[in-house]
Structure 1
Amino acid sequence: MKIGTKAGVATIAALLAVGIAGCSNPVSNNSGGSGGSAAPAKSITVWHNTADSPALLDLYKNFTKATGIKVNLIDIPSNSFETTTQTKWTTGDKPDIMEYHPTSAAILQFNPSSFQDLSNQAFVAKSGDLYKSAGSYNGKVYAAITQMPSIFGIYYNKADLKKAGVTVPTNFTELMSACKALVAKGITPIYESGNSQWPTQILPAAYVADSNKGNVYGQQLFENKAKVNDPNGPMVKGIEAYKALQNAGCFQKDFATGTFEKSTDAVYKGTAAMTALHSDALTQFVQSAGSAQKVSDAVGFAGVSATSPTAWFGPSPLGSYYAPKTGDAAREAAAIKFIQYATGAGYPKLIEEGKTYPVIQGVPNPTGLAPIQEEYKAAYDNGATIGVNLPGWGTFPAELSKLLNGQETPIQVANNMQSSVEQAAKAASLPGW
C-alpha cells in the first residue's frame, strides 16, 4: 500500500485518495435522530479520550468560537478508555458527542439504533471508500473519522539498539535476537504495560499482520470461516510467540504493574529499548521529550510481524465521533453542528496543527512533519489491518494478562477468545454464525 506525496491516506483495507470541503453541511442533511429540524442547543457534552492531541483539544475550542456552542468536555482516562466509556454508557448516561473506536464491533456493542445516522453528511462522500470498512454498519454511517488510522508497531531507543549492536527488528525472529543481545548488555529489551492491559495485545496482533494482507484472515474470522483457536492458525502462533518473549526475559521485571504512561518515558530515556504501541502515542512521547523533533532524535518507529516488517493498523478512536440519540432535538442538532464543523470548516486547521494526514478530500498533507511521523507513514505503506471489526474481541487484553501471570496457556487464551467471539457474533446475528 502506498500513500501519495500530495494527499492521500489509509482506509482500513486499502489505499484511499482523500480531500475535504472548506465549509460544513447544513443541519438538514442529518438523516437520523431528531436533531435535523431543531435549533441547536447552546452547549454540548463531549466524552473525550484524555490522550487527545493538542490539535483535537483546540478543535473543541475552535468550534465554540465559530458557533457559540459551548463544549463541556468529560474526560475519559486513556488508561481505561474502553471500560470507562462502556460503564458510563450502561448507567444510562449519554453524551451529545462520544469519541470512540469507529468499528462495526463497537457500533454493535452500543447498538446502532443508539446513534444518529450520519450517512447523508457531506464528509462521507468525500472520504473515498473509508466508510465501507470503518465507522459504519449495515450500510449506514454512524461515526465521523477525522484522523489517519492508528499504526501499531515498535518504538525503539536508537542509542540502546546501537549499544547492543543490533539493527531494528523487522520480524519476530529478529525481535527475539535483539532481546537476547540487549539482555547481554544489561538493557531491558521491551517495556510491557501489564497494568494498563490494552498495550499487551499489540505484539500478538503484530505477529499476525503479515498473514492478513488485504484483511483476508480477518474476514475469514469475521465470517466464521476460520477459528481464533486453530492450533496452527496465525493467532495462536502469535500468542505463543508473545509468551516466548516473556519466557526469554524480554519484558521488564515489573511488567505486571507497568503502564502505558511509563512506557513512553522509559523508551525515550533509554531505560527500556523498545515498547509496542500505536502512532497516537506520539502525544505521550512529546510530554516526555518536549517536541516531536526531540522524540525523533532519540526514538524510532517500525512495523514488525511474524516474518516481515509489516505493521498493523486500525481506525483510531481519537478524533472519531458518534452523535448519540439523546431524545433532545436541540442537543442532537448541536451535535450534528459539531460533526459538520469537525469534518468541514474546522478540518484544515485540525490537520495542519495536528500534523497528521487527512482522510477527507481537499486538504494537503501538513507541513513540518517530524521524522518519526514520516516513519508512521512508511510503516503504514507496508501495513495490514487485523480483526478490527471482530465482535467480542474486547476481552483479549484481560486474557493476555492471565497469560502473562501464568494463569492460562496460549491455547487457553485462544479458546476463550473463540468463545467470546462466537457469543458476540451470535448475539449480533452475524451471517455465518
Structure 2
Amino acid sequence: MKHTLKAVAIGAAAALCLTACSDPGSGSSQSSEPQSWPSATANLDGVELTMWAAQSSASIPKQVAADFSKATGAKIKIVTIPDPYEQGVQTKVATGDVPDLAMWQPTTSMLTSLGAKEHLQVLDNAPWESNTDKNVLAAGGSLDGHRYAAFVSAPSVMGVWYNKEIFAKNGVQVPKNFDEMLATAKKLKAAGQTPFYEMGGEWWASQWAVQVQLADAANSGLWDRVNKNEDKFTGAEIQGAINTYDTMIKDGLFNSDIKTATFNDQAQALLDGKAAMAIQVTSLLGNMAAHADTATLDKKIGFFPISKSSTLATSIPDQTNAVVAFKSKDTKKEAAARQFITYWLSDGYESFVKAQNTVSIINGVDTPDSVPKALIDSNDTLKDSVGSMQSLAIANPDLAKNLGDMIAGTKTAAQVGSETQSQFAQLAKAIGAKGF
C-alpha cells in the first residue's frame, strides 16, 4: 500500500488538459441505470473482462477474480497501470481506451475528473447495497444522487497513529483536540523524544497534518463555501492550518530528516519508538503490518482521530477501497462487470477479507480475528467522520505537492495557500462551476 494515496493530487495543468479532452459533467445517451443485476454465480463461459489497477492495488482483486472465474467461467485480466495511476487512467479514458472494471478513488473530485456520468455504469439499487455498512456508503462513491463506485473495503481515515509504549513511558494521555496534541508534542520533545515523524521525501502525505485541522470547519460547510468561491485556500481556516503546520516544522516537532524521509522510514520509526506519532491515513498501518505481526502491532500501535477543536475524524476513500464499472457497447460485458462486483460483495467476500486481513464492511461477514486493533479502532471512527478535501471539494488541487515544496524550503506557507487557490479556481472553472 506504499503508493495508495500518492497520486490523489494530480497536477492542475494535467487535470485541466484531461478536462478539456472529455467534459466530466456531460451526460450519456445510454441508460442511466443498469437493466438488471445478474445473480452472483450465473454462467459466463466465454466472457473475458479487463480490470485496471494501480501498483498498490493490483493484488487486491486477484484472489476474488480467480474465485469468480471458477464459479462462473468468466476470465478477468488484471492490468497494472503505471504510477501516477489516476493520471494514466484519465488520459486513457479521455482517448476512448476504457476497461470493463477499474480500482478507483470514489471521491467527488476523482469521480468527476474521470467523467463518471459519461463513462461509468450507474450502480444504483445494487443487491449488495443494503448489506454494506451505511457509514462506508456515506463516505463516497456517489455523484449527483447516483452511485458510480462500489466499496470493497473500509475507507481510509486520517488521524494519528502513535506508539503506545512511548505515551506510557512519558505519562501522556491521548489528546482531545489539536492544541492538546501540540502540548503533548512539546512535552515529549522536552523529554528528548521526537514527537512527530513526517515523510517529506515523499510529499504526498504532507497534506494530512493540514486536513485534520479542517475537520470541524468541513463539518460546518467549509468545502461548500470553497466550492462556491465564498471561501478560499487563502482564507482563515485553510491558510491558518497551513501556517500551523509550518510552525510545527519550524519548532522542531518533527524528525530532523523531514526533507528526505520516506513512507517506509515513517512506518519503521513509529514501530521502533524513534517517533511518538505520525499524522497519516490507514495505509501507514498496512506498511507497519508488513514489518510486524498483529500481536506486536496491538502492543505498540494505537490510533486516535484529531481535529482543531475535537476528535472528529476525516475520511478519505482511496483507490484501493473501491471499484467502478465502465460503460461500453457490449451489454453482455457490462452485465458481467456488474455480476463480478455482486460476487465480490456476496459469495466471495468472506474469503476476500480473510485474504486481505481487513475489516469487513458487509453485514453478516465477520472481521477476521487477525485484524490489528488499531485498524478496527480507526474504522470505528467512520460513523462520526467528515469527508476530506478530496471527498467534498469539486476539484483536487496540488495541496500536497505545494506543502511538499514548503517542507523542502522552496515555498512559503503563504505561497502554498495562494498557489493552491489559483489551481483550484482553474480546475473549478474548467468543469463549469458557478462563481469562478
Please give the TM-score of this superposition, normalised by the length of structure 2. Answer: 0.79
Cα distance in 2 for partners of 1:211, 1:309 equals 13
Match of 1:390 in 2: 393
Cα distance in 1 for partners of 2:228, 2:350 equals 38
User: Do the aligned residues in 2 keep the contact of 1:190 with 1:250 (CA within 8 Å)?
Assistant: yes
Match of 2:106 in 1: 102
- Is 1:176 aligned to 2:182, yes or no? yes
User: Do the aligned residues in 1 keep the contact of 2:67 with 2:348 (CA within 8 Å)?
Assistant: yes
> What SS is found at the alignment partner of 1:295?
helix
Pick aligned residue for 2:274 from 271, 274, 289: 271
Match of 2:294 in 1: 292
User: Do the aligned residues in 2 keep the contact of 1:97 with 1:323 (CA within 8 Å)?
Assistant: yes
Match of 2:317 in 1: 315
Q: CA deviation at 1:299?
A: 0.9
Identity of aligned residues (%): 27
Cα distance in 2 for partners of 1:327, 1:411 equals 49
Match of 1:401 in 2: 404
Alignment RMSD = 3.2
- Is 1:350 aligned to 2:357, yes or no? no
Cα distance in 2 for partners of 1:421, 1:255 equals 27
1:238 aligned partner, one-letter code: A
Q: Deviations over 1:159-190 (max 9, x none)?
A: 23334443334333233333333334443322
Q: Deviations over 1:192-216 (max 9, x none)?
A: 1223222111110001112233x62
Cα distance in 2 for partners of 1:40, 1:245 equals 59
Please give the TM-score of this superposition, normalised by the length of structure 1. Answer: 0.80
Match of 1:29 in 2: 36
Q: CA deviation at 1:246?
A: 0.7
Aligned residues: 395
Pick aligned residue for 2:73 from 56, 68, 75: 68
Structure 2 residue runs of 5 or longer lacking an equivalent are 1-33
Q: CA deviation at 1:158?
A: 1.9
Name the CA shift for 1:353/1:170 in 2 (closer, same or farther; >3 Å): farther
Q: CA deviation at 1:309?
A: 2.2
Match of 2:233 in 1: 228
Match of 1:301 in 2: 303
Structure 1 residue runs of 5 or longer lacking an equivalent are 1-26, 32-37
> What SS is found at the alignment partner of 1:44?
strand
Deviates more, 1:392-401 or 1:50-59: 50-59
Cα distance in 1 for partners of 2:233, 2:47 equals 48
Q: CA deviation at 1:403?
A: 1.6
1:174 aligned partner, one-letter code: E
Match of 2:165 in 1: 159
Name the CA shift for 1:256/1:76 in 2 (closer, same or farther; >3 Å): farther
Name the CA shift for 1:126/1:381 in 2 (closer, same or farther; >3 Å): closer
> What SS is found at the alignment partner of 1:423?
helix
2:102 aligned partner, one-letter code: M
1:259 aligned partner, one-letter code: T
Q: CA deviation at 1:385?
A: 2.2
Q: CA deviation at 1:41?
A: 5.4
- Is 1:139 aligned to 2:153, yes or no? no
Name the CA shift for 1:212/1:101 in 2 (closer, same or farther; >3 Å): same
Name the CA shift for 1:110/1:380 in 2 (closer, same or farther; >3 Å): closer
User: Which runs of structure 2 are paired with 1:74-223 in the superposition (5 Å)?
Assistant: 74-75=79-80, 80-86=84-90, 89=93, 93-112=97-116, 113-124=118-129, 127=132, 134-213=140-219, 216-223=221-228
Cα distance in 1 for partners of 2:296, 2:109 equals 37
Match of 2:420 in 1: 417
1:366 aligned partner, one-letter code: T
Name the CA shift for 1:58/1:283 in 2 (closer, same or farther; >3 Å): farther
Name the CA shift for 1:28/1:40 in 2 (closer, same or farther; >3 Å): farther
User: Do the aligned residues in 1 keep the contact of 2:154 with 2:359 (CA within 8 Å)?
Assistant: yes
Cα distance in 2 for partners of 1:198, 1:138 equals 28
Cα distance in 1 for partners of 2:356, 2:270 equals 23
Name the CA shift for 1:115/1:69 in 2 (closer, same or farther; >3 Å): same
Deviates more, 1:182-191 or 1:395-404: 182-191
Cα distance in 2 for partners of 1:425, 1:131 equals 25
Cα distance in 2 for partners of 1:336, 1:346 equals 14
User: Do the aligned residues in 2 keep the contact of 1:46 with 1:97 (CA within 8 Å)?
Assistant: yes
Name the CA shift for 1:349/1:261 in 2 (closer, same or farther; >3 Å): same
2:36 aligned partner, one-letter code: N
Q: CA deviation at 1:429?
A: 2.2
Deviates more, 1:122-131 or 1:106-115: 122-131
> What SS is found at the alignment partner of 2:159?
strand
Cα distance in 1 for partners of 2:199, 2:84 equals 13
Q: CA deviation at 1:99?
A: 0.7
Q: CA deviation at 1:397?
A: 1.0
